Amino acid sequence: MQGNRARNAVVMFCAVFLFVFVPSLSAHAAAKSDFAALAVQTPGKIIMKPGEEKIVSLTFQNIGSRTWSNSGNGFISLYTYGPKYRTSVFAAGSWISATQPTKLKEHSVAVGKTGTIMFALKAPATTGTYTEEFLLASESTAWIAGGEVKLNIVVADTATAASMNTTTSFTTTNTSYKAEVTLSNATKFKAKGGATLLYSATIKNIGTMTWGKRSIESADLRLASTSNTSVAHKSWKSGSVVAYETNSVKPGESETIMIPMSAPKNKGNYTAVFHMSVDGNEIDGSGISIPIEVTKDAPDALLSPQTEESLQQQAQVYTTNILLSEPMIRVGVLIIDEETDNRVEISGASATELRDVQGNLLANVAAGATAKAFYKEGHYFYDVGRGLEKSSYALRFVSVEPNAVLTVTNFDRRLTRSAGFSDNQFRNVLELRYNAVKDRTWLINELPIEYYLRGLAETSDSAHDEFKKALLIAARTYAYYHYQRYTKHDDEGFHIDAYADQVYNGYGYEVRTPNITSAVEATRGITVTYNGETAITPYFSRSDGHTRDWSEVWGGDVPWAKSVVVPCDVGKTLWGHGVGLSASGALCMAKDGQTYDQILKYFYTGIALEKRWE
C-alpha cells in the first residue's frame, strides 16, 4: 500500500530525430502507418543447383508503433513483390502459397525488438541469375514500410556451383553501432498541409563504439524529391540529409537532436521514416517512424513554388498549429496483494472483452457479469464462468463501449483504507500485469488523459475556478511529461502512479466533482512548455513565503523552476518540497483576480501555454 504523495521528478534531456515521410502502404486494405520495419540481416548472393532447396533467414527490427504477431488478425508474413502477388519460380512445397512464403517465426515481436522470417527456396530447372523481391505485410491490413528485401540468386549446374562459394553470406548491421530511441515529443502529428512541424527524440548509444561524425538521413531517398510528399525543410543540409552532428557520444550516453520539417502538402496519411549513420555505418536501432495526418490541403500559395524569402520566414516557425491525438495514459491504480486476496474481480457497466496484451480475444463478458483473474508463477489465470483458464500474457479488460466504467468488485477503500468512498471504478481498460523488477502485480488503468484528469483528487470541487484550471494544467503537463518519456515507471508498465505521483481516485471522484470536470474541459489539451518542449511542472501544498529553486531540492538547473516570492504564504510553514507552484499561493492569487495563465506564468519562469490536442 502506498500513501507517499511526494513527487520526485527527474529532468530528462530531450533529443530530436530526423526523418523523411513515406506515403502509407497498403496490402489488402487501408494503409496503416503504425507498421514499419528495418532490415537487420539479409542474405548476400545465394548459389544454388537446379532443383536444390535452401533455407533463407531474414531479420527485421520492428520500428513501428504496434507489436507484431504471427497469429490472429493482422499477422505478419512475407509476400512476393515487384510486382506484388507474383508467382515465384522459387516457391517451395513448404510455402503457404506460391506468393506467400511464410509467417513471422516468433509468436510476437515488441516495438524495438527483432523478428525472424525463415523459409525455403527451391531452385528452378533453368540456370541463370535471378532477383527475387519480397515485402513484409500485416495480413489484410498493410504493407510494412522498410520490410522489403531483394535476394540475388545464381542457379548454376553442379560443376559451376562447385567452383563458386556456395556458402550463403549475410549483410548484417554493424552491432558495434547500436542505438535506442528512449523518448520523443510526439507519437503522431496532425496538421494542415504545409505547416512547419518540430519533432524531437532522445537517442541513447547502447553499442560498444563511440559515435563520431554522424548524419540523420531519410530512409527512402526517392521520396525526398517528391514535391507533395516531401517534408524537407529549408534548414536541412540536403533533400535527404537533415543534419550532421560532430560531437562524441560514448556508449551509455544520450544526445538530443531537433528537426524542423514541413508537413506534406496534400491531405492524407503519411509515415515519416529516418535513421542515423556514423562514419558511413547505419546504426542498428536508430530507425524511427511516425504517422502524420494532413487534415487539409496546403493553400494554393504553398502548393506553388516558394520564394527564398518565404522559405526563410517559414524556417523560423517550428511549432505552429501542431495538434496531436489525445494521449492514452497508463496509471498504476492498485497493487494486487493481500488487500484483494491477490486477485481481481472485474465487472463492466457495458459488455467487456477479455484480451491478452497481444490483442488475442480470450472471452466476451456480458454487462454486469464478473470476470476473475490473478497471476501466479509465470502465468495469468482467469475465470469467466467456464472454469479456470490460463494465459502466458498479461490480461486486459476492455470495455466494448469506449470509456465505459469497469468496477473492481473485490476492492473497497472504505473497508481496507478507512476512506469515505469505495473509489473502485475506472474508465475504459484495466490491465493485470506482473513485473519481475519489483516482484509485484499491478492493476493498470488505461484511459484518455482528459478522463484521467477528471478523476484526479489534487483539489476540491469548491475551489476557485481559476485556481482549479491552473492546477489541472500543471497536473496535465506533469502527466504528459512522463507519458512522453515513459521512464519513471517503465519497468512496471505504466506512466503515472495513482498515489505516489498525483492522487487519482477514478470515476467515483469524477462523479462527485462536476466542477473539476468543467475546469478540465475549459483547459482541454493545454500544457506548459519551455522553448517549445513539455516542461515538467512540480507543485506542492504551501510555501513559507517563497518557492525553492529546483537546484536547492534536486540539484541541476531547470530554468523554469526558479524561486519566486509568495506573499500570501509569508509566515506560514512549508508543506511539501517547495518547487514550482504553491497551491495555497495560487489559490490566493485566484481570489485576488488573477487568471490561470497569469498564475502559471508567475510560478513557472519563462514558460508558454500551448494547446496540444483537441
Q: Which amino acid is at 520?
A: V
pTM higher than 0.85, yes or no? no
The mean pLDDT value of the chain amounts to 82
pLDDT at 444 over 70: yes
pLDDT tens-digit series, residues 490-523: 888 999 999 999 999 999 999 999 999 999 999 9
Torsion of CA 315, 321, 325, 330, to 10 degrees: 80
The answer to whether residue 404 scores a pLDDT higher than 70 is yes
Assign 323 a pLDDT band (cuts: 50, 70, 90). low
Residue 12 has pLDDT above 80, yes or no: no
Mean pLDDT of 241-268: 76
Tell me the pLDDT tens digit for each residue of 545-568: 999 999 999 998 899 999 999 999
**For residue 260, cis peptide bond before it (omega within 30 degrees of 0):** no
Greater model confidence, 253 or 601: 601
Average pLDDT over residues 293-310: 55
Task: Provide the pLDDT confidence category of residue 417 given band limits of 50, 70 and 90.
Answer: very high
pLDDT at 305 over 70: no
State the Cα–Cα distance between residues 440 and 433, nearest whole angstrom. 9
What is the pLDDT at residue 265?
A: 80
Helix axes 596-603, 583-591, angle to 10 degrees: 140
pLDDT digits (tens, 9 = 90+) for 172-221: 445 578 888 876 666 677 777 777 676 767 788 888 888 877 888 775 43
The yes-or-no verdict on residue 317 having pLDDT over 60 is: no
128-175 pLDDT, tens digit each? 899 999 999 998 888 898 888 889 898 988 766 655 544 444 444 455
Asked whether residue 597 carries a pLDDT value surpassing 70, the answer given is yes
Confidence of residue 36 (pLDDT cuts 50, 70, 90): confident
Encode pLDDT of 60-84 as tens digits: 888 888 899 999 888 999 999 988 8
Domains and CATH numbers, the chain: 45-168 (2.60.40.10), 179-314 (2.60.40.10), 328-343+410-611 (no CATH)
State the cell numbers at 515.
466542477
User: Residue 129: how many CB atoms within 10 A of its CB?
Assistant: 10
CA distance 601 to 531: 14
- Per the listing, cell 489484410 goes with 140
Integer angstrom CA distances of residue 104 from 115, 227, 288, 480: 7, 36, 21, 35
**Percentage, residues of the chain above pLDDT 90:** 49
Report DSSP letters for 508-533, one per residue: HHHHH-HHHHHHHHHTTTEEEEETTE
